[in-house]
Amino acid sequence: MAAWLSSFITPVQPVAPLPYEVDPVLVWLQHVSLGSALAGIVLGLFLVVGQRRLGENSLKWLCVGQFVLLPMLVIAMGNIVGLQQAKKVEFCQSCHRTMGFFVNDMQDPNSQALAALHYRHRWSPEDQCYACHASYGMFGDVRAKWKGLQDFLKYYTGTYKIPVRMHAPYVNAECLKCHERTPKFTDSDYHAGALLEIRSGELRCLDCHGPAHAEQVRDENSHRR
């Protein structure tokens, strides 16, 4: 009884993240960009208030720092941090009217959709949306971010339509990049017999193993263009 009561009284201690849950480089970059932005604001206010007390040369050097060096640092670090954070599931979920449905379905313990199975069994241990929706290689990442930016603009200008559709049909390469050389894939006689068709996209993985997500309900009011 006492233990039960104390559970209401004792403040819950936040659980410290384990080392593998934190990317130290990302945290460091985040601190640098936060610090630079704060320094920029403070320096900007100082330039507004104390400009008259500064000598000509000091003012110019401060201007170089305030308007050129700090912004360059902030832009570089901010983009790196932002693009890394953009891989996280929570980031995708923040466009909740379009992506919320898919993330909820993926995290639903009763869902049998392919994305939910990958999430539940931790076949993709982290950044689950990004793991399947970014193509392989450097340009795959660039393409994913570029399309993502277009999606943001559509979302925040309200020019999207529900159910949302992918920019292009889902290609088998996104599945094969993880599965092709696994014993489960190679041991299957069907896969071995149809490997060429699978690789060329003639046979789609999702035709047999889909659907990847539950079907999003149509919303006539979602397209405001």
Partner 1 sequence: MRTLTVGKKPFAANPWLRVCEGLTLIGFLLTLNSMWHTTGLSFTLFVVLAVPSLLLSATVVLVLLIDDLRKRYSLFELEEYEPGEVVFRQGDLADRVYFIQKGEVEVIRTVEDKEIVLARLGPGEFFGEMAFFVSDGRRTASVRTSTPVELLALGKENFTRLLGAVPAVQKEFSLKATERIKAHGR
Nearer to partner 1, 61 or 190 (CB): 61
Residue 60 interacts with partner 1 (CB under 8 A)?
yes
138-177 binders of partner 1 (CB under 8 A): 149, 152-153, 155-156
Residue span binding partner 1 (CB under 8 A) among the ranges 12-20, 62-70, 122-130, 178-186: 62-70
Nearer to partner 1, 59 or 203 (CB): 59
Q: Is the dihedral of CA 80, 86, 90, 96 positive or negative?
A: positive
Shortest separation between residue 174's beta carbon and partner 1, angstroms: 22
Q: Enter the tokens of residue 147.
A: 């399309």
Residue 22 interacts with partner 1 (CB under 8 A)?
no
25-54 binders of partner 1 (CB under 8 A): 30, 33-34, 36-38, 40-41, 44, 47-48, 51-52, 54
Site string for partner 1, 71-110 (x = CB under 8 A): xx-xx--xx-xx--xx---xxx-xx---------------
Residue 134 interacts with partner 1 (CB under 8 A)?
no
Nearest to 151 by CA among 162, 160, 141: 160
Nearer to partner 1, 98 or 172 (CB): 98
Q: Enter the tokens of residue 106.
A: 């993926």
Measured at the CA of 40, the angle between CA 34 and CA 46, to 5 degrees, comes to: 140
What is the distance between the alpha carbons of residues 29 and 38, in angstroms, rounded to a whole number?
14
Nearer to partner 1, 97 or 199 (CB): 97
Q: Which stretches of the chain bind partner 1, using CB under 8 A?
A: 30, 33-34, 36-38, 40-41, 44, 47-48, 51-52, 54, 56, 59-60, 63-64, 66-68, 70-72, 74-75, 78-79, 81-82, 85-86, 90-92, 94-95, 149, 152-153, 155-156
